[in-house]
Amino acid sequence: MQYQNILGLFLTQMRNGLRKGFFKIKVRKNKSILGILKCLYRENFIEGFYVCKDEPNFVMVLLKYDQDYQSIIQSIERISKPSRRIYINVVTLAKYNKIHSIFSTLILNTNKGVLSHHEALQKNVGGEIICRIK
């Protein structure tokens, strides 16, 4: 099965899994999706992930909830789309960090890999905004 927009499908599966209260979801494996999952794990938004042994083209994502069974991720939205790419430089990223850092996290595709906006500021790089997580 071939998907034109595998990243959009991944974000929709994450939203639906969190909305239904699933503890794990199975998503199609892709290099960019693995980068996003590593970033989500580093930022403590998910419990973890692993490649399925019986289906090596899929990854099992372990979703994270607090003690009241409310999901850690309140919303996840796609910013840059195939029809409209959105880029951000370091100066604008620093301004964003001062205003919105408490409320949301940006996931960026940079030349240093997939990073959160906190990591991108530390490495002094900008890039394409993939999604925003609250």
> What's the CATH number of domain 6-133, 3.40.50.2300, 2.40.30.10, 3.10.129.10, 3.30.1490.10?
3.30.1490.10
pLDDT one-digit tens code per residue, 10-69: 999 999 999 999 999 999 999 999 999 999 999 999 999 999 999 999 999 999 999 999
Q: Is residue 2's pLDDT more than 70?
A: no
pTM, 2 dp: 0.92
As given in the structure block, the two tokens for residue 28 are 């199609």
Please report where in the chains the tokens 């403590």 appear, as a residue: 44
Report the pLDDT averaged over residues 121-125: 96
Q: Which long-range contacts (CB under 8 A, 24 or more apart) does 103-110 make?
A: 103/134, 104/132, 104/133, 104/134, 105/43, 105/45, 105/132, 105/133, 105/134, 106/79, 106/131, 106/132, 106/133, 107/36, 107/39, 107/40, 107/131, 107/132, 107/133, 109/32, 109/35
Residue 100, pLDDT score: 78
Residue 4, pLDDT score: 61
Residues 6 or more apart whose Cβ sits within 8 Å of residue 94: 121
DSSP states along 39-53: HHHHTTSEEEEEE-S
Sketch the domain layout of the chain as residue ranges. Answer: 6-133
Residue 1, pLDDT score: 47
